[in-house]
Each structure stands twice: as C-alpha cells, then as structure tokens.
Amino acid sequence: MNYPNGKNKVKNNNINYGNRGMNLEEDLNITNEYYLETNTAVIYKKPTPIVINHVNYPNRYDAVITDARFKIPSTTDYNGIYNGKYIDFEAKETASLTSFPLANIHKHQIVHLKKITEHGGIGFIIVSFSRLNRLFLLKAEDLFYFIDNNNRKSIPLAYFEERAKEMKVTLRPRIDYLKYIDIE
C-alpha cells in the first residue's frame, strides 16, 4: 500500500462513522469499558432517569415495571474520575450539516456543567455531526463562551472547527476522548 501523504493514512485508519449502524452512545460505552480494563479512568454513563408508577411482582424473585415515564435529566449523562480529576460530559449527535442545535442540550445540563467547572471539574460536550462523519470535543468553557456571546439557537460548525478538538474514531478505543482533554 502506498500512502502519498499522512492525511490519507489517517483516513484509512478511521472507521466510517456515519454508515456503520453504530451510534455515539454505543461507541462511548465501549470506550469507557476500554478505559476501565486498561485502568485509565473510571467513567460511566448514568442510567436513563425515569419515574416508576407501577411494579408487578409475578413471583417472589421477579419485579416487572409495568408503568413508568421518562424524566428530564438534571445532570449530564457521563461522569467519573480520570487522573484524580472529576470528569463530566454530555454527548450528542446531530444530522445537521452546518450547526449544532442548542435545543439538544437541556438548560439545566448547561447549568450543571457550569457548576462542575466552578468546583474544579473537567466538563465538556462531545458532538457528532453524523452526516459529515465528524466528531468534536468542545470544552465547557468554550460552550459557555458561545452562549454568553451569541444570541443564536445553534452553534455553527465553524465554531467547532475553531475552538473544539476534532476527534478520530479508531478501532480500540473507539473514541479516545481523554487524549483530547490532555492537550491544552
């Protein structure tokens, strides 16, 4: 095989993110398992918050939830510890080709990320532009900067290109996002 330049070589190692039938959440869960196995970090996705209205007990060893509703989350989906530091982030996919709609992140999740950074934690969002096959890590501070200085309902792709880290999807780990928070 012939790699005329580095760019092509990198492309070849990439997984075509948009067409795999996999999703961002799955890839992050697999990455977090890898971090656990390699003793790199202890980071988990939180369970989906629900309100349970009714549980059936068909026998003494079994419990079946038969009526429950989804609840709006108060926090981000992922948190844990890396290198002695508290880590906290939200991950979202968008089909947009030009911008990331802020409606994808609940207001109290942004408030939560703000508190985390104030208390000395590392906060960020991971955004996948799935149809562009591009993946970014945007530090919470840069997210706040955009919101505080723009009266817009979405963050343009150009802002990600300028301020975020573009991440590669690889085989193992899938999305080595901790590598991208080291570079500062």
Axis-axis angle for helices 140-149, 107-118 (nearest 10) = 120
Using CB under 8 A, which of 10, 52, 95, 158 touches a second copy?
A: 52
CA dist 77 and 88 (Å) reads: 8
Choice from 4, 5, 118, 148 touching a second copy (CB under 8 A)? 118
Give the residue, chosen from 24, 31, 78, 79, that forms a contact with a second copy under the rule CB under 8 A. 79
Instruction: Report whether 127 contacts 135 (CB < 8 A).
Output: yes
Pair 113, 76: CB distance under 8 Å: yes
Q: Report the site for a second copy in 120-159 (rule: CB under 8 A).
A: 120-121
Determine if 39 is a binding residue for a second copy (CB under 8 A): yes
User: Can you count the helices (H) and strands (E) in the chain?
Assistant: 6, 10
Options 2-10, 23-31, 58-66, 137-145: segment touching a second copy (CB under 8 A)? 58-66
How many residues at the interface with a second copy, by CB under 8 A?
38
User: Whole-angstrom distance between the N-terminal and C-terminal Cα of the chain?
Assistant: 35
Binding residues (CB under 8 A) for a second copy: these are 36, 39, 41-42, 44, 46-50, 52, 63-71, 74-75, 79-86, 88, 112, 115-116, 118-121
